[in-house]
Amino acid sequence: MGFKKAYIVILIALFFMSCHSDKEKDKDVKFAQTYGEILFLTEKFKNDTIKLKMKIDSVLSANKIEMREIDSIAKAYSKDPEKWAKFFDEAKKYLDKKSLNAQPQRH
């Protein structure tokens, strides 16, 4: 009976750990996409800093993220090359997808 209980406890722990890692991954993706959007806006409105700030504030508000969180995560990831690479890969995927969607359709 002891083995059975231990097995159940291990399964439950693994389940919660996988849920937590999925939530962390979703959060990482959200931050990377938000960061990608900020990069996009920075390029798009580079000559209009007032409009740029308004657009960035709008993106942050819509995603319920503050700029200090983005800065904090970027700083933390810069200390972990693997996470940094994944973060930028996700931001690049977002920008590539956005770029493909923005291209005019050819008939």
What is the rounded distance in angstroms from the CA atom of residue 30 to the CA atom of residue 41?
16
Give the number of residues written for the chain.
107
What is the rounded distance in angstroms from the CA atom of residue 46 to the CA atom of residue 89?
23
Residue 75, Cβ neighbours under 10 Å: how many?
A: 9
The pLDDT of residue 50 is: 94
Scored b (16 or more CB within 10 A) or e, 24-42 reads eeeebbebbbbbbbbebbe
The domain locations on the chain are: 24-101
User: Chain-wide mean pLDDT for the chain?
Assistant: 77
| Of the candidates 65, 64, 66, 90, the residue with the CA atom closest to the CA atom of residue 77 | 90
The pLDDT of residue 3 is: 53
Alpha helices (H) along 45-103: 49-62, 67-78, 81-102
More confident residue, 5 or 56: 56
The pLDDT tens digits for 21-51 are 556 667 778 888 888 888 888 889 999 999 9
Residue 32 contacts residue 67 (beta carbons within 8 Å): no
> Is residue 13 over pLDDT 60?
no
